[in-house]
Every structure is written in structure tokens, then in C-alpha cells.
Homo-oligomer: A and B are copies of this chain.
Amino acid sequence: MAKQLTSRAENYSQWYNDLVIKADLAESSAVRGCMVIKPYGYAIWERMHDELDRMFKETGHVNAYFPLFIPKSFLSKEADHVEGFAKECAVVTHYRLKQNPDGPGVVVDPAAKLEEELIVRPTSETIIWSTYKNWIQSYRDLPILCNQWANVVRWEMRTRLFLRTAEFLWQEGHTAHATEAEAMAEAQKMLHVYADFAENFLGIPVIQGVKSANERFAGAVETFCIEALMQDGKALQAGTSHFLGQNFAKAFDVTFVNKENKQELVWATSWGVSTRLMGALIMSHSDDNGLVLPPNLAPYQVVIVPIYKNDEQFKAVEARILPLVDQLKAAGIRVKYDNDDTKKPGWKFAEYELKGVPVRLAMGAMDLENGTIEVARRDTMTKESLPLDGIVGHVKSLMDVIQKNIYQKALDYRKSVTRTVDTYEEFKVEIEKGGFLLCHWDGTPETEEKIKEETKATIRCIPFDGDKTPGKCMVTGKPSKQRVVFARAY
């Protein structure tokens, strides 16, 4: 078959690339590092968007839209932020092209140079806090709970579809608060929203925790994260939420009059997830046959394929399928009926396996006689013939079963490769096998840096849950408050 994927065992990285291309999720574009998100990939992203948007609104947030461009000087206002983001970014220097005087085509018009260069936003803290300055005078103007759905650009040198692209789509929440406690609670609340979304919608188990100083967002006081584990044993940061303290309020002079009539700096958070989640999704569940989608997320949850040898059989089968399509839709199931007669059933089966449709129903002449229908599950690759009677209820309950199974499978895998390691010697051996390693660490950036240099492993997070027994750092032997999560990461 033309669409066969490289197997994961053979070459995991190639398998990922094959899958993204062959399942029509995305492809590289003519612009270095920028991707085209194809309709099927975009439909999955839209499902993520819609569910997250619902969750944000349910927790009191509203959407807004801020400019694509950031004046260069804004980036320098927060010292750590500029260090983290100014380096690799797209810089707009001119605002006009003109006919090439020396040949064909167009050239940049040197007369149209901007007085101050504009940066295509790599993240929007600076432009948003320069705006919030005008929105906030008194404690009555707080909190501000805004989210933005947008494209951002970070000029990455090595790019991979969804995982690391120069342009990507994301949402970025930016909130402003009167007190430190409220901002801290917000940052943690949104982390929990992300964890809930990842686990219950994407079926991806995540560890929630706080980043070490080395891995903190540029400009944050504290960065919280959800960390997922891919099937190759590498970690992937699936979302972050930052407590920004008063850093951006200071940088942009954003103050408010509190209830006691005193001027104070405003407290901030920001939080985001991106099209990188598409990569996390693919690498958490998919197999050598293609994508595996949890039913909550799947653009189509069920596909129905008619099996027939002639037009008469086709008509008879279709007469039974059409009412079923309506019944499934009425039961709230997203269903596709594929009656394209230029494609063979075998081709369709492979295609929908590749695309990860959770349930495939097939009905032929024999089924008509027997009053049955073939039900195939994508997650287990099993199929069975079931009575047509009651099939809607069965399919509906299958949605839950599959959603849970996909999550459980990922969780079981994670558990199987999460180990406690006590010595650095053992660590060096174990890290080669992948997975999460729970180890004691002395809390210093120096030790973390040494481990990273020697093993390519980083501290994914200091987990909220889990064993809080103190111990001794596996490298330096100095005291450690609790085990932290190490892994090699995407």
C-alpha cells in the first residue's frame, strides 16, 4: 500500500514524519520553518480550540485580540524577557516594495524604512501590558481575564512539523490581578484546566508541577507545566502557566489604586498551549497503522462503509445505513458515511485507520440477511459482528470505553517507564532507556546544568503530587526536599 508508514520500532522519528504527512495533518511550506496545516489536521486543532475556549469561558475568561507586531523597544523593557525572546525573531524593517529598477520583480524600497523596527510577536506579554496600562486605574478594573487565539513566530533553526515550527498557532491567556495570592491562584487554576483538558479530552496523562529556575519562562517568577511522555520515552511539555509577579507591571509602569487608596503594581499571569499539542497527541496514542484519536477529539467518531458487489446490493445496504446515520447523529455522534464508489472498501479501511477514526462500521449483503453490522475499534484494532438492533446505544457507549482505554493505555505505558533512581551512575544507564526518572536533586541550577550536559536530560518539573520524602542529591549528595522528574525531552 502506498500509504504505509515507517514502523515506530524501525525509526520513531521517521514514523512521526510519515504519519503527519500521510494522514494529511500538515506539511512543510515554501517558507522555511513554516507549516501548512491541512484540513484534517486543522479540523483536529479546531476541536482542541473549541473545547479549550469553552473551558476558558467557563472559568470567567474573555477573548480579545492584540497586534501582531511589537515595537523593538518593548522587548527590552523586561530584562529576562528580552534575553529569552529577542534572539530569534522575525524583524519587520520596511513597509513597502517597489518595482526593481535593475530587472524583473520587486525589491524593498529603501525609502520605506521604519523608524523603529517591529518584531513579529513571539509571545505578547509586552504589547499586552503596554495596553493594560490604559485599562487599569483602580482595583475596580481588576481582575482582567483575557485570552487571545493567535499566531506567533519564533525563528527556530531546527524545525519539525507541529513540534517546533517558526510560526505556530496558540492561545495565550494574560491576566491582571490586585493581589499576589489571586494571581498565583489563577496561574495554578489554568494549569489544572490544561491538565483536565489533556487527560480527559486528549487522553494524555500528564504530570503537573513547577519548573526549575533553568526551565522557567523568560520573565516569569514561577512557571507551572504539564509534562507528557511520548511512546519513545521522551518527555514533551504540553502546556505552561506562568506566575509573572509584578515584572511586567514594573516594566510597563502598570499600577492601580487599591481599596486603601494606595498606588500598587499589578500582579500578572500568562498561560498558553499551542499546535504543539498536535505532536503530543500523535506521539501519545498513534501506532504503525496511523493516527489513533480519542473519541472526544475526533472530527469523525464513526465512519460507515458499505460493502457491495453490485448496484442492487449497494441500494439495499444503503437503505439500511441511511437511517442509521441519522440515528447516530441524533445520539450526538459525529459520523461520516463514505459511499464513494471510486474507492474499494479495503482502501477505505486503511485510510480511516490512518486517519484514526475511533469506530468503523461496515455493512454488506450478509449483514443484511443476518441483521448484523461489523464494528471495528481503531484503538484495539479488533472487530466483531453485532446485531444491528441496539447498535446506536452500543456505539455510544463505545465512545466512552475507547476514550478511557486510550488514556489508560498511555497511563500504563507511562507507569511502566517511570522509575525511581538513586545514584548518578544508575541514572546515566537508565536515562538511555527513556522514560521519567524520579530522582533527588540539590535544587541548584549548577547541578541541573551538569546533568543536562552529561546526559541530555532535564528536570521536566518538580511535581505537585507524589513522594515528598526528603533525600540526598544523586549527584552532589546534598539535601533534597523531594524527588523531581527527569527525562530527555522534545
Name the one of B70, B76, B90 contacting A105, with C-beta atoms under 8 angstroms: B76
Q: A62-B43, A87-B97 are in contact. Are A130 and B30 (CB under 8 A)?
A: yes
A111-156 residues at the B interface, CB under 8 angstroms: 117-120, 127, 130-131, 134, 140, 146, 150-151, 153, 155
The answer to whether B65 touches A36, judged by C-beta atoms less than 8 angstroms apart, is: yes
The answer to whether B127 touches A73, judged by C-beta atoms less than 8 angstroms apart, is: no
Residue A390 is within 8 A (CB to CB) of chain B in the complex: no
Name the one of B31, B42, B108 contacting A127, with C-beta atoms under 8 angstroms: B31
- Per the bound structure, the CA–CA distance linking A69 and B260 in Å amounts to 50
Q: A39-B63, A39-B64, A96-B89 are in contact. Are A118 and B31 (CB under 8 A)?
A: yes
The answer to whether B95 touches A94, judged by C-beta atoms less than 8 angstroms apart, is: no
- Per the bound structure, the CA–CA distance linking A456 and B319 in Å amounts to 62
Inter-chain contacts of A130 with B (CB < 8 A)? 30
Residue A200 is within 8 A (CB to CB) of chain B in the complex: no
Residue A12 is within 8 A (CB to CB) of chain B in the complex: no
Residue A68 is within 8 A (CB to CB) of chain B in the complex: yes
The answer to whether A64 touches B90, judged by C-beta atoms less than 8 angstroms apart, is: no
Copies per assembly: 2
The answer to whether B105 touches A92, judged by C-beta atoms less than 8 angstroms apart, is: no
Q: A93-B94, A97-B72 are in contact. Are A62 and B88 (CB under 8 A)?
A: no
Inter-chain contacts of A95 with B (CB < 8 A)? 88-91, 155
Chain A contributes a number of interface residues (CB within 8 A of B) equal to 64
Inter-chain contacts of A104 with B (CB < 8 A)? 76
Residue A74 is within 8 A (CB to CB) of chain B in the complex: yes
Residue A342 is within 8 A (CB to CB) of chain B in the complex: yes
Least CB distance, A59 to chain B, in whole angstroms: 15
Residue A38 is within 8 A (CB to CB) of chain B in the complex: yes
A165-214 residues at the B interface, CB under 8 angstroms: 167, 169
- Per the bound structure, the CA–CA distance linking A76 and B151 in Å amounts to 26
Least CB distance, A97 to chain B, in whole angstroms: 4
Residue A471 is within 8 A (CB to CB) of chain B in the complex: no
Q: A39-B62, A62-B42, A120-B120 are in contact. Are A82 and B106 (CB under 8 A)?
A: yes
Residue A37 is within 8 A (CB to CB) of chain B in the complex: yes
Inter-chain contacts of A82 with B (CB < 8 A)? 106
Inter-chain contacts of A46 with B (CB < 8 A)? 63
Inter-chain contacts of A105 with B (CB < 8 A)? 72-73, 76
Inter-chain contacts of A119 with B (CB < 8 A)? 97
Residue A365 is within 8 A (CB to CB) of chain B in the complex: no
Residue A443 is within 8 A (CB to CB) of chain B in the complex: no
Residue of B nearest to A165 (CB): B67
- Per the bound structure, the CA–CA distance linking A89 and B109 in Å amounts to 11
Residue A75 is within 8 A (CB to CB) of chain B in the complex: yes
- Per the bound structure, the CA–CA distance linking A120 and B29 in Å amounts to 15
Q: A64-B42, A120-B92 are in contact. Are A106 and B127 (CB under 8 A)?
A: no
Residue of B nearest to A66 (CB): B36
The answer to whether B42 touches A106, judged by C-beta atoms less than 8 angstroms apart, is: no
The answer to whether A86 touches B106, judged by C-beta atoms less than 8 angstroms apart, is: yes
- Per the bound structure, the CA–CA distance linking A31 and B119 in Å amounts to 11
Least CB distance, A225 to chain B, in whole angstroms: 26
Residue A71 is within 8 A (CB to CB) of chain B in the complex: yes
- Per the bound structure, the CA–CA distance linking A130 and B36 in Å amounts to 11
- Per the bound structure, the CA–CA distance linking A118 and B108 in Å amounts to 10
Residue A487 is within 8 A (CB to CB) of chain B in the complex: no
A30-62 contact mask (Cβ, 8 Å, vs B): 1 or 0: 110011111100110110000000000000001
Inter-chain contacts of A91 with B (CB < 8 A)? 92-97, 108
The answer to whether A31 touches B106, judged by C-beta atoms less than 8 angstroms apart, is: no
30 contacts between A and B (CB under 8 A): A27-B131, A27-B134, A29-B127, A30-B71, A30-B127, A34-B67, A34-B69, A35-B67, A36-B64, A36-B67, A36-B131, A38-B64, A39-B63, A39-B64, A39-B146, A42-B65, A46-B63, A65-B169, A68-B151, A69-B90, A72-B105, A72-B108, A73-B105, A86-B97, A87-B96, A90-B118, A92-B92, A92-B93, A140-B342, A151-B151
Q: Which 6 A-B pairs have the closest CB atoms?
A: A34-B67, A37-B65, A39-B62, A91-B94, A86-B97, A95-B155
